[in-house]
């Protein structure tokens, strides 16, 4: 055996799984087709939002609370500052489904928050154009994470605990039986007891039967300069999610307080072939985001000064797939994080490592079970 557990894809979630398994003294062999912390997939672009009042569903709140503890643990072990909790403003039409879901998660778990009237919000946060029908919630357990540093820190901790990581090594195929898993990567073969697949947007390339369930989408990040630099430092500007009609504008101040990063999402952009992600930007997409920034964030110069494209893997119901693969012995999967998985990556790393070593997890992940889809025959 080359290791107890192999991990294919040492990105956001794979790095956390390697960290967690290595802490248990399990021998780990990780494969990453690029370098660690690379910017070709889901973990690039300097920051990821952390939110606890969760529009994606109350069932995530216990996972988010555990994830926060694990982020702090990783900070302590690695000596890197990874999570800044500067609060999060959720702004959307009071009657909308999204705002109702946020309020439900707050009520279900008694989450620390402030509910602001339009006038209060305009006074405290003049950076935003707040409409009369908007509800404004300040999530006190929100902020931003440094994604590249997080992936590198978790991987480094795993290596220090004894994990072996093969960089620039693409896994081409896997096969498994009750005795273990065979891996073919760059013309070499490896044998391990168990395998965790954390391949994000590339998942169907390795597991073609998941092609309809795990679909890559292109997501754009853009950076804007402020009209008044004193108003966009992280202590003045919380992270934000601005929901309006059929689009969403989310963002965060940059750590040095000189810019605001924003992401505009409307229609999904499917990526047929993950190796051919279009990484440049079309002028019409910049125009669209510029118009929404002009309307909603009047404190910013509306033309983005920087833009770049990334991708994530989406499932049909926008919940990830986490657990044992029903059709492959000894193979576990954690993928399809549908645009909101980075904040969860430490807890998912722990959950999948517990499933791997103990056959179960104490966390409630019924909404993430692979068995809710049926491509496994
Ligand atoms: C622009 C953007 C903004 C986002 N904003 C947020 C946010 O604010 N908050 C939040 O929580 N989430 C956010 N997300 C979502 C979050 O970043 C992702 O859900 C999460 O990073 C996915 O992690 P992953 O491990 O599944 O994928 P990745 O981090 O992409 O890791 C997959 C890894 O597998 C490797 N790999 C694939 N196939 C192979 C193979 N055959 N052999 C070897 N290696 C392989 C890849 O190279 C990659 O490194 C955002 C995503 C994007 C793209």
CATH number assigned to the domain comprising residue 35? 3.50.50.60
Confidence band for 112, pLDDT divided at 50, 70 and 90: very high
Burial class from Cβ neighbours inside 10 Å (0-12, 13-18, 19+) for residue 158 reads buried
For residue 36, the model assigns a pLDDT of 98
Confidence band for 245, pLDDT divided at 50, 70 and 90: confident
DSSP string, 72-88: HHHHHHH----EE---E
Spacing, Cα 184 to ligand 1 middle (Å): 22
83-105 average pLDDT score: 96
For residue 223, the model assigns a pLDDT of 98
Whether 300 and 325 share a structural domain? no
CATH number reported for the structural domain that contains residue 286 in this entry: 3.30.9.10
Q: Which residues line ligand 1 (CB under 6 A)?
A: 8-9, 11-14, 31-34, 41-43, 45, 48-49, 170-171, 198-202, 206, 219, 221, 263, 310-313, 335, 337, 339-343
Spacing, Cα 93 to ligand 1 middle (Å): 30
107 with 166: CB under 8 angstroms? no
Whether 187 and 241 share a structural domain? no
Whether 152 and 139 share a structural domain? no
- Beta-carbon contacts of 186 under 8 Å, excluding residues fewer than 6 positions away, are 169, 170, 172
For residue 342, the model assigns a pLDDT of 98
163-169 average pLDDT score: 98
Q: Is the ipTM of this complex over 0.90?
A: yes
How far is Cα 280 from Cα 297, in angstroms, rounded to an integer?
A: 24
Q: Among 260, 276, 308, where does a domain finish?
A: 308
For residue 356, the model assigns a pLDDT of 96
Inside any domain, residue 69: no
351-366 average pLDDT score: 97
Whether 134 and 264 share a structural domain? yes
Whether 199 and 230 share a structural domain? no
Structure tokens at 217: 């989408």
Is pLDDT of 168 > 90? yes
Mean residue pLDDT across the chain: 96
Is pLDDT of 41 > 90? no
Whether 225 and 180 share a structural domain? no
How far is Cα 144 from Cα 173, in angstroms, rounded to an integer?
A: 36
Residue ranges of the alpha helices (H) in the chain?
Answer: 12-23, 61-78, 97-109, 118-124, 147-160, 203-206, 283-296, 345-358
Q: Among 264, 282, 308, where does a domain finish?
A: 308
**How many domains does the chain fold into?**
2
Q: Give Cα 293 distance to the centre of its chain.
A: 23
For residue 227, the model assigns a pLDDT of 96
Smallest CA separation from ligand 1 atom 31, residue: 11
Angle, vertex CA 148, rays to CA 210 and CA 224, nearest 5: 100
335-349 average pLDDT score: 98
Spacing, Cα 281 to ligand 1 middle (Å): 20
How far is Cα 194 from Cα 3, in angstroms, rounded to an integer?
A: 9
Q: What is the pLDDT of residues 44-81, one digit of tens each?
A: 999 999 999 999 999 999 999 999 999 999 999 999 99
Q: Among 290, 308, 326, where does a domain finish?
A: 308
Is pLDDT of 311 > 90? yes
Question: Containing domain of residue 173, as a range?
Answer: 3-44+148-214+317-372
Inside any domain, residue 60: no
- Of 264, 261, 260, whose CA–CA distance to 248 is shortest? 264
190-210 average pLDDT score: 98
Whether 156 and 129 share a structural domain? no
Inside any domain, residue 283: yes
Spacing, Cα 41 to ligand 1 middle (Å): 5
Whether 178 and 228 share a structural domain? no
Whether 114 and 129 share a structural domain? yes
Q: What is the pLDDT of residues 262-297, one digit of tens each?
A: 999 988 999 999 999 999 999 999 999 999 999 999
Which has the minimum average pLDDT: 101-110, 115-124, 161-170, 173-182? 115-124
For residue 148, the model assigns a pLDDT of 98
For residue 377, the model assigns a pLDDT of 80
CA distances (Å), origin 85, targets 88, 214, 310, 347 = 8, 31, 24, 18
Confidence band for 181, pLDDT divided at 50, 70 and 90: very high
Smallest CA separation from ligand 1 atom 41, residue: 171
**Cβ count within 10 A of residue 299:** 18
């Amino acid at each position: 055996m080359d290791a107890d557990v192999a991990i294919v894809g040492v990105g956001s979630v794979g790095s956390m799984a390697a960290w967690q398994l290595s802490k248990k003294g399990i021998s780990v062999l990780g494969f990453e087709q690029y370098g660690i912390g690379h910017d070709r997939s889901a973990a690039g672009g300097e920051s990821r939002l952390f939110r606890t009042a969760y529009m994606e569903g109350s069932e995530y709140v216990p996972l988010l609370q555990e994830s926060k503890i694990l982020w702090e643990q990783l900070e302590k072990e690695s000596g890197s500052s990874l999570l800044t909790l500067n609060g999060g403003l959720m702004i959307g039409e009071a009657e909308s489904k999204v705002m109702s879901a946020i309020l439900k998660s707050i009520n279900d778990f008694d989450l620390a928050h402030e509910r602001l009237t339009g006038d209060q919000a305009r006074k405290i946060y003049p950076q935003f154009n707040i409409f009369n029908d908007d509800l404004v919630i300040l999530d006190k357990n929100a902020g931003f994470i440094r994604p590249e540093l997080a992936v590198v820190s978790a991987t480094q901790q795993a290596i220090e605990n004894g994990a072996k990581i093969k960089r620039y090594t693409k896994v081409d195929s896997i096969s498994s039986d009750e005795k273990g898993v065979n891996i073919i990567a760059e013309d070499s073969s490896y044998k391990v007891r168990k395998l965790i697949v954390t391949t994000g947007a590339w998942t169907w390339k390795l597991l073609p039967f998941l092609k309809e369930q795990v679909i890559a989408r292109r997501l754009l990040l853009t950076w804007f300069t402020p009209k008044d630099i004193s108003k966009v430092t992280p202590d003045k500007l919380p992270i934000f999610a601005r929901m309006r009609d059929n689009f969403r504008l989310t963002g965060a101040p940059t750590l040095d307080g000189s810019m605001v990063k924003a992401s505009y999402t409307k229609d999904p952009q499917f990526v047929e072939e993950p190796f051919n992600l279009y990484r440049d930007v079309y002028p019409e997409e910049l125009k669209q985001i510029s118009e929404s920034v002009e309307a909603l964030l009047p404190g910013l110069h509306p033309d983005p000064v920087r833009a770049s494209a990334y991708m994530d893997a989406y499932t049909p119901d926008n919940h990830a797939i986490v657990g044992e693969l029903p059709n492959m012995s000894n193979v576990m999967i954690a993928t399809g994080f549908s645009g909101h998985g980075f904040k969860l990556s430490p807890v998912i790393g722990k959950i999948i490592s517990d499933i791997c070593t103990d056959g179960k997890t104490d966390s409630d992940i019924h909404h993430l079970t692979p068995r809710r889809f049926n491509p496994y025959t």
